[in-house]
Structure 1
Amino acid sequence: MDPTVKGPTVTGASVFRKGAIAACAGIVVTGCSFFGGSQQSTTTSGPSAASGASQTSAAATADLLSPDKANSLILPKEDVSQLVGSDLEYEGRSSNPGKPTIDGKESCRSLVAPLSLGLGESWTTYRNVWSQEAEKTYDHWVSQRVVLYPKADAAAEAFASQYPADIRSCTGEVLKSGESSWRETVKDVTPDRAQWADDSLDNGQPNGWRCSDEARVIDNLLLSATVCQRGNSVPAMQAIIDRMVAGATKSK
């Protein structure tokens, strides 16, 4: 499984078949690393350069979110476990969006890999933390992502490139990542928020594994939450993103 995209495809009557892989394994990335040493220097072009994680971007101003504040928006797995109603013992972390390979309508691909495509070259901090019951088998998969930019307009531009108003036309589109196929349902898109769902397919039909997603832009920050499970994943996803947003707005 590529940690930049959704959890496993569920086949037939199986509840959780596909095993998750260790963090960063199986994704094509440049400079993939875990927390620590993962904030990028704003003086170096491109997301492949990194500097100390505790360092604050020189381009960031006092009224914008800092890397430390952005890191604090990620809910600990204990809190996520309570929200999904299951003990999520396994956690993976990535500090690079990687290069997910997705087949299907190009303008819809950011629905399968939230905050991974079209981020541009100026982001300074990237965090993707995913949680699940165990490394090999699980029935909940949760991802929290934060992406920090030196300026608010750069974050707004990146968000608009991934979730423009016409992404609503992606409802009904089928996208593929590896062996997994997903049918998209776009629920709402505004200049600062996108909400959608992804249904995992077997032979063109939903198999019961569903992901609920929301992405937001707040000042110089992009953030997203994804919850995948059988059944209704909306309440847990909404609770997670609401907590992240509350932390971001309180931090300003």
Structure 2
Amino acid sequence: MRTGLRLTPSAALGAALALALTPAFTAHARPSDPGVVNYAVLGKGSVSNIVGGPIGAERLFGAPFQAYSVDVPACNNWADIGLPEVYNDPDLASFNGATAQTAPNDETHFVKQAVGVFANADAATRAYHWVVDRGAGCDGQTATMRLDNGATQVWTFHGGTSGPADAAWVKQLAGADRRCFVQTRLRENVVLQAKVCQSGNGGPAVNVLAGAMQNTLGQ
């Protein structure tokens, strides 16, 4: 999705948070079945439409993973999504995730999705709080990520007040016009996460992506 606008980092963050923290509950939500993870992760065609650019490569993953270390522990669960610390709960019933990007060697647009269905709402709430409680000390921090492939990246993190079921934050790559816009949503027994990385404002795109994922939950 291209808006034609170039927002400052603070304005983009404010817009992303305003979108993310808008209440989105249905009046009579019910728990999701484990099988919804097969539908909640959007394919590259849908992702391309949402980000407004070509998406030629995607990779699915069926288990949480972490492929980096970070020198500011509070930022660990803001640095990426689909992490073991968040999802690896004994009551995790099903999980699915995917990454998608412009081309195999081109991350002009990079999108990641993760969704976990838990046996009950209490377990999902625990997972959600692994994100918001640990990340509470990350806002305003600059942290170095050391990726398992040997690369090193420096990011500055900005986030607002997380709601009881919605959280959003942005990380800015040092020395580059590149930001990742991230949302985490708790919906009954589901925790879903979406991340859009690009130049300019990816806030509207990540909000549409997370909303589309949420619409598949059957709640």
Shift in Å, 1:128 = 1.5
Shift in Å, 1:115 = 3.4
Q: Report the TM-score when normalising by structure 2.
A: 0.78
Bigger shift: 112-121 or 181-190? 112-121
CA distance 1:99–1:139, change in 2 (3 Å): closer
Which of the pair is proportionally richer in strand? 2
1:127-159 C-alpha deviation (Å, 9 max, x unpaired):
111111111123100111101111110010111
Counterpart residue number, 1:230? 199
Rounded Cα–Cα distance in structure 1 between residues aligned with 2:164 and 2:82: 15
Rounded Cα–Cα distance in structure 2 between residues aligned with 1:191 and 1:101: 28
Would you say 1:216 and 2:189 are equivalent positions?
no
Contact 2:172 2:180 in 1 (8 A): yes
Counterpart residue number, 2:125? 156
> Given the alignment, which residue of 80, 84, 106 partners 1:113?
80
Q: Alpha carbon RMSD of aligned pairs, Å?
A: 1.7
Would you say 1:140 and 2:113 are equivalent positions?
no
Counterpart residue number, 1:194? 167
Aligned length: 183
Contact 1:160 1:191 in 2 (8 A): no
Contact 2:64 2:88 in 1 (8 A): no
Structure with the greater alpha carbon radius of gyration: 1
Rounded Cα–Cα distance in structure 2 between residues aligned with 1:214 and 1:130: 15
Shift in Å, 1:223 = 0.2
1:229-250 C-alpha deviation (Å, 9 max, x unpaired):
01111111111111112332xx
Rounded Cα–Cα distance in structure 2 between residues aligned with 1:173 and 1:92: 30
Segments of structure 1 that go 5 or more residues without pairing to the other structure are 1-62
Shift in Å, 1:161 = 2.1
Shift in Å, 1:216 = 0.7
Greater relative contact order (CA < 8 Å, ≥ 6 in sequence): 2
Which of the pair is proportionally richer in helix? 2
Structure 1 segments (4+ residues) deviating >4 Å: none
One-letter code aligned to 2:62: S
SS of match in other structure, 2:208? helix
Segments of structure 2 that go 5 or more residues without pairing to the other structure are 1-29
Shift in Å, 1:120 = 3.7
Contact 2:82 2:113 in 1 (8 A): no
Rounded Cα–Cα distance in structure 1 between residues aligned with 2:181 and 2:159: 10
Rounded Cα–Cα distance in structure 1 between residues aligned with 2:68 and 2:102: 26
Shift in Å, 1:169 = 3.5
One-letter code aligned to 1:234: G
Rounded Cα–Cα distance in structure 2 between residues aligned with 1:69 and 1:97: 17
Counterpart residue number, 1:103? 70
One-letter code aligned to 1:78: G
Rounded Cα–Cα distance in structure 2 between residues aligned with 1:100 and 1:133: 21
Rounded Cα–Cα distance in structure 2 between residues aligned with 1:246 and 1:118: 22
Rounded Cα–Cα distance in structure 2 between residues aligned with 1:191 and 1:100: 28
Q: What is the percentage of aligned positions where both structures have the same residue?
A: 23
Contact 1:167 1:186 in 2 (8 A): no
